[in-house]
Structure 1
Amino acid sequence: KGERLKEYNIIYINGGNPFRLLYFMKKSGADLILRSLSKQNTILIGASAGAVILGPSIDVVQHFSPELNEIGLNDYTALSLTDIAIFPHYDREDVFKEDTGKSIEDRLSEFEEWNNISVTRLKDDQYILINR
Structure 2
Amino acid sequence: MSLIVLIGPQAVGKMTIGKELEKRINGKLLFNHQTLDLYANFLGYTEEAFSLSDQTRFNLFEAFVNNKETNPTDSIIFTVMIDFDGKYDIAFLEKLKMTVTIIDLNQPDFKEQIKASDIIFVAGGNTFYLLQELRRSGADKLIEEHINSGKLYIGESAGSIIMSPDTDYIKEMDEPEKAPQLKSTAAFNFVDIYPLPHMDNEYMKEAAQIILEKYQDKLLLHPLNDDEVILVKK
In structure 1, list runs of 5 or more residues that go unmatched: none
Residue 66 to residue 50, structure 1, CA distance change in 2 (3 Å): closer
**Deviation per CA, 1:14-44, whole angstroms, max 9, x where unpaired?**
0011111000001111111111111113100
Q: Say whether the 8 Å CA contact 1:9–1:41 is kept in structure 2.
A: no
> Are the structure 2 counterparts of residues 28 and 90 from structure 1 closer, same or farther at C-alpha, using a change threshold of 3 Å?
same
1:38-60 C-alpha deviation (Å, 9 max, x unpaired) = 11131000001101011111112
SS of the equivalent of 2:222 reads: strand
2:214 is aligned with 1:110: yes
TM score, norm. by length of structure 1: 0.82
Q: Distance in 2 between matches of 1:67 and 1:25?
A: 17
1:53 is matched with which residue? Answer: 162
| Change in 2 beyond 3 A, CA 1:112/1:59 | farther
Quick check: 37-46 or 88-97, which moved more? Answer: 88-97
2:114 is matched by which residue type in structure 1?
L
The alpha carbon displacement at 1:66 in A equals 5.2
Which residue is 1:75 aligned to? 184
Q: Which moved more, 1:80-89 or 1:118-127?
A: 80-89
Residue-pair matches, total: 124
Gapped regions of structure 2 (runs ≥ 5)? 1-109
Pick the aligned partner of 2:135 from 9, 19, 26: 26
Which of 1 and 2 has greater Rg?
2
1:72-120 per-position Cα deviation (integer Å, ceiling 9, x unaligned) = 334111111222210110112532546xxxx81x54132233xx21110
Distance 2:129 2:211 in 1: 23
1:36-47 mapped onto 2 (5 Å cutoff): 36-47=145-156
Provide closer, same or farther for how the CA distance between residues 11 and 76 of structure 1 changes in structure 2, counting only shifts above 3 A.
same
CA contact (8 A) 2:127 2:174 kept: no
What SS does structure 2 have at the residue aligned with 1:12?
A: strand
Q: Which has the higher helix share?
A: 2
Measure, in 2, the Cα distance between the counterparts of 1:66 and 1:47: 14
CA contact 2:126–2:178 (8 Å) conserved in 1: no
- What is the CA RMSD across the aligned residues, in angstroms? 2.0
Q: Which runs of 4+ in 1 moved over 4 A?
A: none
Identity %: 30
